Amino acid sequence: MNKIASTLNEASIPSPNGGIWRTSTIENILKNPAYTGQIVWEIRKGKKKDTYTFDHSHEALVDRFLLHLINTNLKLQKEYGRLETPFLFLNKLNCQQCHSTLETQNGSTKRNGKKYLYQDYVCKCCGYKLDMNEVHSSLFPQVLRHVKDMTASEQVKERSVHYLSAIEQVLEESISNCESDLDKLNRKGCIAREQNDREFEFLVMDEQKQVFRLKNSYEHSQDVLADLHEAIQSEMFFTRFDHLLESQLDNAEMRLIILYFVDEVQVAPQRPARIIFQENPLDHLVSSPNG
């Protein structure tokens, strides 16, 4: 979070109150989706498009991309639980015996005046525990190795661009379908008015509204994709992780990396854990930013 704050400051992007970004500001934003939505809106509205294309074009992309990342991070937290937890693999460990997700257990006991801390991942159904620290020290280095390999490969960039293009195409088709639906509905609306059929007219209007909303959401996704495309071309996405890996990672950063790159970890008693990696970590960024 420190890094997000300093990146925003370096890019001279003003904080919500116009000053510099602090770690606490970012923390508040990460915890409050409504707040983030508002900022996205303000920034897009506040800076005119021609200002972007002149001297600020790069910063504009950086800030839109960062905000999109922040939004995606929020969505991941909604799905898998908070970043600020000692349990890095929270909601990512699945029991191979009963197929339930392992829960976490925090406990401590006092023996001879000394306090002992127990932190375990637990399958309540099968009744076994995995020591948290042991799980982390055996799995996290594997995750890091995978991410490093990924960010180093030119192939990944190519594949990502390919992937985005495919989605862009689907979006384009969906938008043109919406347009032809709107045409049809328009004609139906005319007929309804000619025949003075009020009920039918309202039905048509209602459907028009829905199709229009759908079309808008597709167009919004198109904008997001265009930004992503550019971010990947300029190597912003993967180099971000690269930079992250070169520095000392804090717990939240380690967890974020896991949320992006690890699909699930399959565990069972007396057997080594198996990490299933996300086939395309961009999946998270591509799916709807607010949903």
Instruction: Using the minimum distance from each CB to Zn ion, give the nearer residue, 5 or 95.
Output: 95
- Name the minimum Å distance from CB 94 to Zn ion: 9
Pairing of the two strands 103-111 and 128-131: unpaired
Nearest to Zn ion of 98, 190 (CB atom)? 98
Element (H, E) at 76: helix 57-80
Nearer CB in complex with Zn ion: 29/95: 95
For Zn ion, the binding residues (CB under 5 A) are 95, 97-98, 123, 125-126
d(CA 217, CA 211): 10
Considering beta carbons, is residue 67 or 275 the nearer one to Zn ion?
275
- At closest approach, how far in Å is the CB of 262 from Zn ion? 19
In the bound complex, what is the minimum distance in angstroms from residue 267's beta carbon to Zn ion?
A: 9
SS3 89: coil
Q: For Zn ion, which is the closer residue by CB, 94 or 151?
A: 94
Distances from the Cα of 231 to the Cαs of 15, 65, 136, 193, 258, in angstroms? 22, 7, 31, 49, 21
CB nearer to Zn ion: give 125 or 190.
Answer: 125
Q: How far is the CB of 130 from Zn ion (least distance, A)?
A: 11
Q: How far apart are CA 161 and CA 154, in angstroms?
A: 11
CA torsion, ordered 167, 171, 173, 174, to nearest 10 deg: 130
Whose Cβ is closer to Zn ion: residue 113's or residue 272's?
272
In the complex, the smallest distance separating the C-beta of residue 272 from Zn ion, rounded to whole angstroms, is 16
Contacts of 280 (CB under 8 A, 6+ apart): 159, 160, 163
Shortest approach of Zn ion to residue 266 CB, angstroms?
Answer: 11
Residue 87 Cβ vs Zn ion, minimum distance, rounded to whole Å = 17
Going by C-alpha positions, the residue among 56, 40, 36 that lies closest to residue 48 is 56
Task: Go through the chain and tell me how many residues it has.
Answer: 291
Place of tokens 């970890």: 265
DSSP string, 165-203: HHHHHHHHHHHHHHHHHHHHHHHHHHHHHHTT-HHHHHH
